Each structure stands twice: as structure tokens, then as C-alpha cells.
Structure 1
Amino acid sequence: MSQGPRHKARHFAMQALYQWSINNELPEIIEEEFLEDQPFGDDTDKDYFHELLTGTVSHLNEIDAAYIPYLSRKADDLDSVDRAILRLATYELLFEKKVPFKVVISEAILLAKKFAAQDSHKFVNGVLDKVVHAMAPASDNK
């Protein structure tokens, strides 16, 4: 899979969400730091990065409510990287309707393979698959 502008935006947004969850800074401050300190380049969709970061933080309660029921462990026991990936992907599933769910899940798996523990991509895939099925009308779940 090519590393297009949106892939890179997701990459940085996941890292920014991780940082936000650790130090609880305002998303605007984190975004400013990332734009100054990270190698965004012209091949990163900076607008999508902004949308992903601020949208995820502003819709956090809805996002957490959508994926937490499908965790195989307590939400408090969730690894911070896994949490950032699940939140980012769930935001896209809920609020970025033009992005196909298969793309969202595939991107989340790539992020998990790159940044999370060895088999986290399987866990992320399973949780997001359940979120997608829960979102689909009953007739689509057959």
C-alpha cells in the first residue's frame, strides 16, 4: 500500500492522539508542535491531520462508546497505542463517511503493525470489524 497523503496524516494523527492521552495537553498545542517538529513535508494531508486530531478529541465520548463494548479486556487495561489507533479509526468510521470502512480498517492495521505490540493488529482488526458490523443496518449484517 502506498504511503499517500492521508496515510501520513493518519500516522501523525495517531502519534498526536497518543501524546494527547499521555500528557493531556490541548490538541491545538500538540498540533502546533507536530507541524513544527515532525517531517510532514508536502506529501502529508495537513488538513486531514487537523481534522482527525481535533475531531477525535471533540467526539471522544461517542468514539469510546462505539468501540469499548467490543474490547476483550477492560478499557483501563488497553495499551495507549492501541487506544490511539482505535479512537482514530473509530472516528473515521463514525464521522468520515466518504472513507470506505475497508480503508479505515486496513490503515489501522498498518498503524498497529508499525507502532503497537506484536499481535495488536489482530486485536485492532477484530474490534473495528465489530464496530463496523454494529454500525451497519441489520440487512447488511447477513
Structure 2
Amino acid sequence: MTEKSPSTTGKPPRKSTGGLTSTGARKASAKSNRSRAREFALQALYQHLVGRNDATEIDHFTRDLAGFHKADAAHYDALLHGSIEQGAEMDALILPLLDRKMEEISPIEHAVLWIGVYEFQHCLDVPWRVVLNECVELTKEFGGTDGHKYVNAVLNGLAPKLRAAEVEADRAKGNVR
């Protein structure tokens, strides 16, 4: 059996998806080292939230995963350890924007919200809109069907509080509603 070319099948050739796989996920080669760090931090924070595993044990396990060498290890460290250490404070910021109890939020969405809040507060070199977009993309890739919409709404609600000057500057330029 031979494979038919697009011209013999009657189907048009596939269009380039610009860094996306056929499922819509970002291709590995298109990811920055910080994006990879966020992915590994998400996996590690998930282990912490679900299994209440020790941060050091999670860290050792995660660093042994395939592809970790391509991640920004310092950013991963900051996200993992900073989020676990400041989890209660970050939950206090997140909770007023939720329409349900924290226990009803999926662990993926919870971890992504921690990543977003941590970056809003401590990674001022990353523009707030990039933080928001990265968190939405993480949730699209790893979360439930509409989880990204929820994460987007919560982080959009926190941005004016945690990055007031930056959000206001974007509003003044007409870049934010």
C-alpha cells in the first residue's frame, strides 16, 4: 500500500500552523526556555497540590524528567519554591475572584493561578500580558475544556491590583478595555 499525495487524494495540503501541533498545542521547538520552565513548574505544583509531596522530592523528580535541560532552571526554581512558600498568601489574593470554593478549582487551574500570581508579583521583567498569555496557554494545553477562560478571568482581575502601573499604562495607550 502506498501513501497518496495531497494531489491524488483531492485534499489540499496541510497549512503550516506556525509552531502548533495538529492538536493546537505548541510545538516543542517553538517553546522558550521560560515556557518550558512554566510547564515543569506546573507539573511539580500539581504534585504538591494533589499529593502534598515535599518540594525537595518533587524538585529532584522533576529535574530528572526528559527535556528539563531545555528549561530555564532558575525560573522553574523560583516558580516552584516561591509558589509553595507563598501559596497561602497567593490563595488569599485569588479567592475573592472565584465563584466557588478553592477546593472546587482543578489542581491544574490552581497551579497555573499560582504561577500567574507569582510572576505578577516577582517577575517584573515579564510583561503582565505575557504572564496572562502564558498562563492561558498552559491551561489550554494541560487543563480542562474551558479552564483557560476561568484562569484568564481571574488573572485579568488580579492584574490591575498586582501590576497597577503597567495595566494603567496599557489602558492609557488603548491596549486594555
Q: TM-score, normalised by structure 1?
A: 0.91
Deviation at 1:129, TM superposition (A): 0.3
How large is the Cα RMSD of the aligned pairs? 1.7
Query: SS of the residue aligned with 1:99?
Result: coil
- Measured in 1, the distance between the counterparts of 2:119 and 2:93 equals 12
Q: What are the ranges of 5 or more consecutive residues in structure 1 without an aligned counterpart?
A: none
Cα distance between partner residues in 2 of 1:126 and 1:38: 32
State the Cα distance separating 1:102 from its structure 2 match.
0.6
What is the aligned partner in structure 1 of residue 105 from structure 2?
78
Matches within 5 A, 1:13-28: 13-28=41-56
User: For residue 40 of structure 2, what is the aligned residue in structure 1?
Assistant: 12
State the shift of 1:123 in Å: 0.7
Higher relative contact order (CA 8 A, sep 6+): 1
Instruction: Report percent identity of matched pairs.
Output: 31
Aligned with residue 81 of structure 2, among 54, 65, 68:
54
1:100 aligned partner: 127
Total equivalences in the alignment:
140
Higher percent of residues as helix? 1
Indicate the residue corresponding to 2:13 in structure 1: none
Q: What is the Cα deviation at residue 76 of structure 1?
A: 1.6
Q: Secondary structure at the match of 1:37?
A: coil
Q: Kindly state the Cα deviation for residue 61 of structure 1 after the two structures are TM-superposed.
A: 1.8
Matching residue's letter, 1:132: A
- Unaligned runs of 5+ residues in structure 2 are 1-18, 20-29, 173-177
- Give the drift of 1:8: 0.1
Name the counterpart of 1:34. Answer: 62
Residues 56-100 of structure 1: CA deviation (Å, up to 9, x unaligned)? 111112211111111121112111111111111111111212211
